[in-house]
Structure 1
Amino acid sequence: MAASAPAASAPAKMPRKTIPGTDIEVSVMCLGTWQFGDPSGTYTKQSEEVEAEIVRQAVAAGVNFIDTAEGYGGGESERSIAKALAAAGVKREDVVLASKVSPENLEPSALRAAVERSLANLKTEFIDLYQIHWPVRGDGWDVAATFGELKKLQEEGKIRAIGVSNFGPADLAAAVATGARISTNQLPYSLAWRAIEHEVTAACSKADVGVMGYSPLAQGLLSGKYAATADVSPAISRSRLFHRDTSPRARHEEEGCEEELWSLVAELRSVAEESGMPVAQIALAWVLAQPNVTSVVFGASKPEHVARNTAAALAPLPASVLGRLSAASDPVKAKIGANCDVWNSKDGGRFR
């Protein structure tokens, strides 16, 4: 009797993790949708058809986690997500929706109104993860009142979990002290931006707060598209990675670390050539491998970016490659220092 053909192996599945303090399981890669409503000119907003295709492909790849904010285009991103989910035929129960409230809406009545607007924009009865987009600086913020209202909204079922974004150690400690269960802290994290490793990741770990890493490709700097400062637009080169005179939009007074950045990019390209993997996939896989990371927020301005980016979750990097990349990015980490703010100098940084 002829031997039967070996059974085809099942396709790899997108790994999932549980958001700390909840029973909500999310894909380790989260579709970020700043570009669905971006008013800054950093991205070009795509058509509704393209946005629906991006969402469809992300869900097909195993992504069940979508992140937005009321501040992305004044709610345009939230509204676009609702349209895209409907057009792609994705059921509400098959996705975990995260949104964020802007700093100017943290007073309890304004916060409640913001939640209601986001619910209407997203066409949903509840938001799975509701995050404070930025902490407020100065003496006018009643932290206890804000988180007290968030707890009420959670008890009412309008939100399922409470998160924060861009919170440094002191801000996170103040939030935890209110008695609210803080589940996540969304932070800038990439091979080119490891400032959170100095203090913030340890604070998150101590409080059992999961890290959601945003801008894992450093606004495209680690995508393989760029190899020199001259290639980068002023909207991107305004960050602290670049000399203060590189972009007219720069808000910092620093010399940057351009030499170290392009040396890192060169090493990424070398690893890509050796492995046959895209540069962006390697950069994303490095972030996914870092401790305490619950999910990595990736963007996709084109549908074809989805497969490239989500493949990072299915192809973990060997420890030797992870160490090699960390060593290549250590000089950037050292120059940036502990200030986690991508755009503002130390005295004007918004992290505390």
Structure 2
Amino acid sequence: MKLVHLKNSDLKVSPICLGTWQFNGNTAGTSMGTWNAQDINVSKKIVDAAIESGINFFDTAEAYLNSEKVLGDILDGSYKSRRSDLVIASKFGFNATPGSNKPVSYTPADIEDSLNQSLRSLKTDYLDLYQVHWPEVMNNVEETVKELKRLQSLGKIRYYGVSNFGPQTLKEFYDFGGEPVSNQLPYSLLWRSIEYEIIPECAKRNLSILAYSPLAQGLLSGKYNDSTSFPNGRRRIRLFNCKSTPLAVHTESGCEDQVFKALGDIKQLLTQLNVCKKSGLDIQDDGDGKEQYGMVNLSLDWILSNLNVGSVIVGASSADQITQICKNASSSLMNTEMKRKLDEITEPIKEAIGNNPDMWFTKSRYK
């Protein structure tokens, strides 16, 4: 897998980044039921498969229960001698109490404390990328920028970035002297809200986008044909009716019909174009597997065809999943005509969701 440079940095990262939100240390029901419990041995196999497949980029956060510690134990145990080859990213910022929607407001002292705890959990002396998880976790923007620069000067972080920042908060961060190298944002064929305002702003500032939830939390895996088959915890997102799960915190009716029509149209497009056969890809056939893996790689290629995207953050529940994704990562399924068709198929969803990129809240936390 060919490494790419994050803009305005010397960080060379794989275009596929392993997201470790699912590394929960075998704790079920974390993150409001988004992910099932994942055994630590499974997490280790996923990391092993990722590194063997060419991934050098790992993303975690203090808000992901147990994730930093699980990832740290794995990397320290098997890959300590290769630390300089790996790019480890984490984030500060989380809700005040479990189940609360109120974030902690971080002072400079809080940021340093959080970083030190992350370093201990990850068993490393430095982070390659330290990110502000949400704009609202900053007690004071100017003080936050100064603290990140101070931590950078101490060698505790190589670079810093932001996450979930809209045009207004990006401007404010830059106005106080901030020099982020990335903005981590939700982006997929089924979630294109950042195209309205945020991508143009990032492009103007030459800021790399790290795309999270690139498979719309699994909808683009090709496994789901209706809302009832989709896991309860993941139906919190605004694509689904707020009444579809008691875990939803938005108040909208969603656009489920458009979502599943689009998924059907994408499968049909793959069949019509016979993408897998024409590309000569080595795709595992697992029942309906050719459609499933074809949809996954097509979805990731569509994101990476956007020159503003530096890497896509992909989670996995098994080593086989990450191996298969990486196996075909260098064989792009994308061309101009296919991108146009995919844009056309998913345009009704983009219009229904509008310019609010917040996957979970009706009142956007993006500004």
Q: TM-score, normalised by structure 1?
A: 0.91
- Report matched runs for 1:167-206 at 5 Å: 167-206=165-204
2:14 corresponds to which residue? 27
In the alignment, residue 269 of structure 1 is paired with which amino acid?
Answer: K
Q: Is the 8 A contact 2:105 2:139 kept in 1?
A: no
Out of 136, 145, 151, the residue aligned to residue 147 of structure 1 is: 145
Q: Is the 8 A contact 1:288 1:313 kept in 2?
A: no
Distance in 2 separating the partners of 1:315 and 1:99: 29
Task: Report runs of 4+ in structure 1 exceeding 6 Å deviation.
Answer: none
> Which moved further from structure 2: 176-185 or 270-279?
270-279
Q: CA deviation at 1:87?
A: 4.0
- Report matched runs for 1:11-26 at 5 Å: 14-26=1-13
Distance in 1 separating the partners of 2:17 and 2:346: 24
1:113 corresponds to which residue? 113
Out of 64, 69, 85, the residue aligned to residue 56 of structure 2 is: 64
Any idea what the Cα deviations from partners look like across 1:116-150, whole Å, max 9, x if unmatched?
1111111111100000001117xx83100011100
Q: CA deviation at 1:49?
A: 1.9
Q: CA deviation at 1:212?
A: 0.2
Distance in 2 separating the partners of 1:49 and 1:233: 23
In the alignment, residue 243 of structure 1 is paired with which amino acid?
Answer: N
Matched residue SS, 1:245: helix
Q: CA deviation at 1:326?
A: 1.2
Distance in 2 separating the partners of 1:100 and 1:124: 15
In the alignment, residue 79 of structure 1 is paired with which amino acid?
Answer: K
1:321 corresponds to which residue? 338
Distance in 2 separating the partners of 1:170 and 1:16: 31
Distance in 1 separating the partners of 2:247 and 2:73: 33
Any idea what the Cα deviations from partners look like across 1:171-223, whole Å, max 9, x if unmatched?
11111111121110000000000000000011111112110000000010111
Any idea what the Cα deviations from partners look like across 1:287-326, whole Å, max 9, x if unmatched?
1112300000000111111122224521212222122111
Out of 76, 83, 86, the residue aligned to residue 76 of structure 2 is: 86
Q: Is the aligned partner of 1:288 residue 2:297?
A: no
Change over 3 Å in CA distance of 1:168–1:204 after alignment to 2? same
Distance in 1 separating the partners of 2:84 and 2:176: 31
Distance in 1 separating the partners of 2:171 and 2:238: 26
1:300 corresponds to which residue? 316
Out of 221, 230, 234, the residue aligned to residue 223 of structure 1 is: 221
Distance in 2 separating the partners of 1:83 and 1:292: 33
Matched residue SS, 2:221: coil
Any idea what the Cα deviations from partners look like across 1:255-306, whole Å, max 9, x if unmatched?
2111111111012212333223522121112111123000000001111111
Distance in 1 separating the partners of 2:145 and 2:298: 38
Q: Is the 8 A contact 1:268 1:283 kept in 2?
A: no
Distance in 1 separating the partners of 2:306 and 2:198: 13
Q: Is the 8 A contact 1:26 1:96 kept in 2?
A: yes
Q: TM-score, normalised by structure 2?
A: 0.87
Question: Unpaired segments of 5 or more residues in structure 1?
Answer: 1-13
Any idea what the Cα deviations from partners look like across 1:58-88, whole Å, max 9, x if unmatched?
1111111000001110xx1111111222344
Distance in 1 separating the partners of 2:15 and 2:172: 27
Distance in 2 separating the partners of 1:83 and 1:272: 40
Q: Is the 8 A contact 1:185 1:210 kept in 2?
A: yes
Q: Is the aligned partner of 1:309 residue 2:307?
A: no
Q: Is the 8 A contact 1:298 1:309 kept in 2?
A: no
Structure with the largest fraction of helix: 2
Q: Is the aligned partner of 1:97 residue 2:95?
A: no
Change over 3 Å in CA distance of 1:51–1:88 after alignment to 2? farther
Q: Is the 8 A contact 1:17 1:27 kept in 2?
A: yes
Q: Is the 8 A contact 1:189 1:215 kept in 2?
A: yes
Q: Is the aligned partner of 1:209 residue 2:207?
A: yes
Report the identity percentage. Answer: 38
